[in-house]
């Protein structure tokens, strides 16, 4: 073939191929019609930006632009087009679209203060019903509520946003955990934290410090003072799209043996809400500085030095890209955070990457893929009731006692050291988490759907403790290295369908199965001689190390569940369901467990109610969920030890319990939701009661059992938690230029031990003489001690112990208000508070002994005591007897003097945000620029005489809360944040 003919043939072929590709698309374009529309607020006529526009029955859709407008191109046919926006009732219109036809639609959406049209995914078995259909209360937090606040961790995301959620802060150090608790305490020694899920993947809640020995989330006690450093800080708030919170067993039944404490499901951003063809770039930067001046009147000079040794500056930076096309949407982001609160030797470095991609294969097939990586490094000093904490030594330095850095307690002669010596003592943590998830959704014929989810997590957690040679505690040096590697896999398959049973009666049914498996490898090694810094490797230390400790555990569970929801006349909704669950935590021979659930909700006809009532709903639910023990708690554990060079023996570590079964929490809740004044005022009221049977108690075996006083888990406890959740919220002002939103949340909690199985026990927090006790008929736990009793000679004895007050607040609440002016300028504030609990102020007790509290306990008082106490009883004068009584009254912690009211009200946050005028930012090629200034921990009202009523020594389990023993308080923060979209 001649070259010219060859070129012609190739060219013609390419033209034909191009025509073959273009002609069907062009023909389809000619045959298609166009739908244009606009969504506005029905009251203010303000355009609704980012509202979702859905073609029901398909995967097609778009979103409104900055003017509230949208455009869709569709083939000819009959359609129902629905528009949804957060905080508004959804609205749909049905129409017929012809070939080449242009159709204009208008959507005016009414405000929905109760958010009844909000779709809920968590705990619904794949049915994804609206909130109106649910018989249980559920907390939801959207991106909108996070935009105008200084949020740096998941605890702040949840704090004060909904009822029933209690954030138990523990320390002012950067990188340490707070405890999340839903509806009080449901177990004595078991895990009381909710199940955390991120995009359908279970998140391992690993605490690298815990001292209750029964931390089912994987904690270990390392024997050093300080706070919990865990994995909750590895959730980046900047990636969060929304959060759904199931507060108890009645809602969380479908999650089985891990769900008795509730479920918190976090959904990350995906590009949803963007119109096809739109790509959004965002860069945000935040500068935050710690301010310790709120404690100036209480801090000594040395204490101020401890919290001023670092800059106390936090920098957060995040860059994200999200976009959407006709068949896809995506989100990807990277962030870097460097947090310092000013506390000596305390720093938190966090690096995060997240990517989500959704592909709409066709109208029936959808694929989602997600991946994430987080690196979280924390350095902290020894702290909390530790004599090797720089904070401990700084607190006890009395400015008037000595001008030099080597000073002494005026009463007992103890030496308190130069705080700079603690640069030789470092505690470092390095946590890394990889996660991935795949979801496939298929629309089947006859209104059926198939969903498949797969999730994977790989977590490594390292802890390094190093004391250089020459340090007082370890003259030869010391280094300990702990390494934990965890991998987890979970998979789920759900088949759901909708059935029309009769006129005005339908049913949605889902069937599902899931599987979860995790493996945990632990290695610990230490060296008694170490001369280098904390950044060196283990092999750089003395090769003559202590014997390493190595452990491997694995856990798996499988389940099947079914759930049916009946819709009767669009007003009565009934839900029935159950889950069969089998867990390896109880051994291979254990029987499967069955957890049922039932709920109902009824939308009352508002026409028959007061004309001011816009919506009324009554609801109720019942369900059961399990509480499983630590992995291997049912099994006997042995350790091999060498008796001599020739012989070895096995030593019992744990006797096990082959009869162990899950503690089961039954819960019922009843409540109602009301909306008034055209959906501008809402009220939600819920009463709940949780009842846990077969609760797991850690009981010490008898020597006669042959186990040598080891701890054995027994199903002997019974615990109750009940209370009310009340929320009042609304929009008292709403015009096209001014809008005010307010919310008041109040939660009560009444915890009781109904049965201790004849094994009441005491917990002595960190050697304190005042103990915490768990006993039938009392809260979980309560302070327990006797009064001081003096005889005629001044000799002190302690009377019978009595219950003095509980640790967990009985009432918590918050009040938030935001005011927006001219759509661009916003002000907001958030008050939080708690009452009904006590705090053991061991800091006050210790400072008084050191002559540092109010000047009451002086060297003269101690000298008079020593003189009088050395005399025989009958030789003491009345003044000497009084001197003895005065000393013990001031010094002995067996006194109500140190058990204080823990009630407080805090102005948690105040913020001001401003969106620069659109004309300004568009002139430089930007879409919008938001500026925000906020203050955190602004001020506090409390009777507590310590630094901060929210701190708790160690920050560990509920059985070790309630004591402030030289715990570092939370500072005030000021933050400036800039967010740029382009």
**Whole-number average pLDDT of the chain:** 80
CA atoms of 252 and 572, how far apart (whole Å) = 21
Q: What per-residue confidence (pLDDT) applies to 783?
A: 87
Portion of the chain with pLDDT greater than 90, in percent: 32
**367-394: average pLDDT:** 84
Q: What per-residue confidence (pLDDT) applies to 507?
A: 93
From 759, 945, 748, select the one nearest 842 (Cα to Cα).
945
**488-509: average pLDDT:** 92
**512-531: average pLDDT:** 80
pLDDT band at 457; cut points 50, 70, 90: very high
Q: Is 410's pLDDT higher than 60?
A: no
Q: What per-residue confidence (pLDDT) applies to 770?
A: 58
> How confident is the model over 581-604, as pLDDT tens digits?
888 877 677 788 898 999 999 999
Structural domains in the chain?
A: 32-109 (2.60.40.1120), 131-566+574-749+808-837+902-981 (2.40.170.20)
**461-470: average pLDDT:** 80
Q: What per-residue confidence (pLDDT) applies to 852?
A: 52
More confident residue, 105 or 470: 105
Map tokens 């909750």 to a residue. Answer: 232
Q: Is 433's pLDDT higher than 70?
A: yes
Task: Pull the structure tokens for residue 157.
Answer: 């995301």
- The answer to whether the peptide bond before residue 417 is cis (omega within 30 degrees of 0) is no
Can you list the positions of beta strands (E) in 269-420? 279-291, 313-324, 328-339, 347-360, 365-380, 407-408, 415-416
> How confident is the model over 774-828, as pLDDT tens digits?
888 998 888 888 877 889 999 988 778 888 889 889 999 999 999 999 888 999 9
Please name every residue paired with 496 in a beta bridge, in sequence order, or none if there are none. 449, 510
Name the DSSP class of 100.
Answer: T
Specify whether the CB–CB gap between 894 and 788 falls below 8 A: yes
Q: What per-residue confidence (pLDDT) applies to 230?
A: 75
Q: What per-residue confidence (pLDDT) applies to 296?
A: 73
HSE value, Cβ hemisphere, 13 Å, CA-based, for 586: 22
Task: Give the range with max mean pLDDT: 222-226, 319-323, 700-704.
Answer: 319-323
Write out the DSSP string of 205-233.
--BS---SS--TT-----S--S---BSGG
- The answer to whether the peptide bond before residue 495 is cis (omega within 30 degrees of 0) is no
Q: What per-residue confidence (pLDDT) applies to 125?
A: 59
CA atoms of 612 and 602, how far apart (whole Å) = 19
Q: Is 62's pLDDT higher than 80?
A: yes
From 555, 487, 483, 430, select the one nearest 201 (Cα to Cα).
487
Q: What per-residue confidence (pLDDT) applies to 225?
A: 56
pLDDT band at 407; cut points 50, 70, 90: very low
Report CA 507 to chain centroid distance, whole Å.
Answer: 35
Q: Which three-class secondary structure state does DSSP give residue 249?
A: helix
Residue 261's φ and ψ, nearest 5 degrees, are: -90, 5
Q: What per-residue confidence (pLDDT) applies to 636?
A: 64
Continuous segment of H or E residues that includes residue 507: strand 505-527
Q: Which three-class secondary structure state does DSSP give residue 302?
A: helix
CA atoms of 803 and 899, how far apart (whole Å) = 12
Name the DSSP class of 973.
Answer: E
Q: What per-residue confidence (pLDDT) applies to 7?
A: 47
In sequence order, which residues have a C-beta less than 8 Å from that of residue 562 and are 6 or more positions away? 125, 509, 510, 511, 512, 577, 578
Q: What per-residue confidence (pLDDT) applies to 800?
A: 81
Specify whether the CB–CB gap between 54 and 84 falls below 8 A: yes
> How confident is the model over 4-58, as pLDDT tens digits?
434 444 454 444 344 444 444 444 445 688 899 999 888 778 888 778 888 887 7
pTM of the model: 0.85
Please count the helices (runs of H) and the strands (runs of E) in the chain: 10, 50
Q: Beta-carbon neighbour count of residue 82 at 10 Å? A: 17
Portion of the chain with pLDDT greater than 70, in percent: 79
């Amino acid at each position: 073939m001649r070259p010219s003919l060859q070129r012609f043939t190739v060219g013609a072929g390419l033209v034909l191929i191009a025509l073959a590709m273009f002609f069907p698309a062009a023909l389809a374009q000619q045959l298609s019609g166009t739908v244009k529309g606009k969504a506005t607020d029905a009251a203010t006529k303000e355009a609704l930006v980012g509202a979702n526009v859905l073609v029901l029955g398909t995967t097609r859709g778009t979103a409104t632009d900055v003017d509230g407008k949208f455009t869709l191109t569709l083939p000819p046919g009959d359609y129902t087009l629905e528009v949804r926006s957060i905080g508004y009732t959804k609205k749909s219109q049905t129409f017929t679209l012809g070939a080449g036809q242009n159709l204009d639609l208008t959507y005016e959406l009414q405000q929905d203060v109760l958010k009844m049209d909000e779709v809920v995914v968590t705990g619904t078995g794949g049915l994804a019903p609206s909130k109106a259909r649910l018989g249980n209360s559920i907390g939801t937090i959207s991106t909108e509520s996070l935009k105008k606040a200084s949020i740096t961790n998941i605890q702040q995301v949840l704090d004060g946003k909904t009822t029933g959620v209690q954030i138990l802060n523990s320390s002012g150090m950067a990188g340490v955990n707070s405890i999340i608790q839903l509806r009080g305490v449901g177990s004595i020694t078991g895990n009381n934290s909710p199940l955390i899920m991120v995009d359908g993947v279970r998140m391992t809640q690993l605490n690298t410090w815990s001292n209750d020995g029964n931390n089912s989330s994987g904690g270990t006690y390392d024997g050093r003072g300080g706070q919990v450093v865990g994995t909750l800080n590895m959730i980046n708030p900047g990636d969060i799209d929304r959060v759904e919170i199931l507060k108890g067993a009645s809602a969380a039944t479908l999650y089985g043996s891990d769900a008795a404490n509730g479920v918190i499901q976090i959904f990350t951003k995906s590009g949803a809400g963007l119109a096809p063809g739109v790509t959004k770039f965002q860069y945000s930067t935040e500068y935050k500085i710690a301010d310790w001046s709120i404690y100036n009147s209480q801090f000594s000079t040395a204490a101020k030095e401890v919290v001023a040794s670092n800059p106390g500056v936090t920098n957060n930076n995040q860059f994200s890209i999200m976009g959407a096309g006709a068949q896809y949407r995506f989100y990807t982001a990277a962030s870097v955070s460097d947090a310092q609160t000013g506390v000596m030797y305390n720093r938190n470095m966090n690096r995060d990457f997240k990517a989500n991609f959704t592909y709409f294969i066709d109208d029936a097939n959808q694929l989602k893929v997600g991946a994430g990586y987080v690196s979280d490094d924390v350095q902290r000093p020894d702290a909390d009731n530790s004599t090797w904490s720089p904070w401990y030594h700084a607190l006890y330095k009395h400015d008037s006692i000595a001008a030099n850095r080597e000073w002494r307690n005026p009463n007992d002669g103890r030496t308190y050291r130069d705080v700079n010596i603690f640069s030789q003592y470092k505690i470092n943590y390095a946590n890394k988490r990889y996660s991935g998830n795949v979801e496939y959704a298929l629309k089947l014929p006859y209104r059926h759907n198939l969903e498949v989810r797969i999730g994977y997590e790989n977590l490594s957690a390292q802890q390094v403790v190093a004391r250089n040679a020459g340090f007082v505690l370890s003259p030869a040096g010391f280094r300990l290295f702990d390494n934990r590697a965890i991998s987890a896999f979970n998979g789920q398959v759900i088949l759901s369908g909708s059935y029309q049973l009769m006129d005005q009666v339908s049913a949605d049914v889902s069937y599902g199965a899931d599987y979860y498996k995790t493996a945990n490898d632990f290695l610990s090694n230490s060296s008694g001689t170490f001369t280098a810094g904390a950044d060196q490797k283990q092999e750089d230390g003395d090769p003559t190390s202590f014997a390493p400790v190595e452990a491997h555990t694995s856990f798996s569970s499988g389940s099947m569940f079914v759930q049916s929801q009946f819709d009767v006349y669009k007003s009565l909704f009934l839900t029935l369901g159950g889950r069969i669950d089998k867990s390896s935590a109880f051994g291979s021979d254990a029987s499967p467990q069955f957890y049922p659930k039932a709920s109902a909700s009824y939308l009352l006809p508002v026409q028959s109610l007061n004309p001011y009532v816009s919506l009324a709903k009554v609801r109720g639910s019942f369900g059961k969920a399990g509480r499983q023990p630590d992995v291997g708690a049912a099994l006997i554990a042995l350790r091999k030890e060498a008796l001599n060079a020739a012989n070895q023996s096995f030593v019992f570590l744990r006797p096990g319990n082959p009869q162990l079964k899950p503690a089961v929490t039954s819960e019922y809740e009843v409540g109602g939701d009301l909306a008034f004044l055209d959906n501008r005022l809402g009220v939600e009221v819920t009463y709940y009661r949780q009842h846990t049977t077969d609760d797991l108690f850690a009981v010490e075996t008898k020597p006669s059992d042959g186990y040598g006083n080891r701890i054995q888990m027994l199903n002997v406890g019974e615990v109750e938690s009940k209370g009310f959740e009340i929320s009042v919220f609304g929009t008292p002002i709403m015009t096209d230029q001014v809008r005010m939103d307010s919310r008041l949340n109040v939660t009560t909690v009444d915890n009781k031990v109904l049965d201790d199985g004849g094994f009441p026990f005491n917990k002595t927090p960190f050697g304190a003489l005042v103990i915490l006790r768990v006993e039938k008929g009392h809260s979980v736990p309560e302070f327990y001690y006797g009064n001081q009793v003096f005889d005629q000679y001044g000799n002190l004895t302690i009377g019978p112990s009595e219950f003095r007050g509980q640790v967990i607040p009985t009432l918590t609440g918050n009040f938030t208000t935001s005011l927006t002016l001219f759509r661009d300028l916003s002000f907001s504030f958030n008050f939080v508070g708690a009452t009904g609990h006590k705090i053991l102020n061991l800091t006050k007790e210790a400072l008084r002994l050191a002559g540092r509290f109010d000047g009451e306990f002086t060297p003269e008082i101690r000298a008079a005591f020593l003189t009088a106490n050395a005399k025989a009883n009958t030789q003491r004068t009345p003044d000497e007897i009084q001197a003895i009584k005065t000393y013990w009254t001031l010094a002995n912690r067996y006194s109500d003097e140190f058990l204080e009211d823990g009630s407080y009200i805090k102005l948690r946050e105040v913020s001001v945000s401003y969106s620069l005028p659109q004309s300004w930012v568009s002139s430089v090629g930007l879409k919008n620029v938001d500026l925000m200034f906020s203050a955190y921990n602004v001020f506090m009202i409390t009777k507590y005489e310590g630094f901060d009523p929210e701190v708790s020594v160690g920050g560990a389990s509920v059985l070790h809360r309630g004591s402030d023993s030289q715990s570092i308080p939370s500072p005030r923060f000021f933050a400036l944040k800039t967010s740029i979209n382009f």
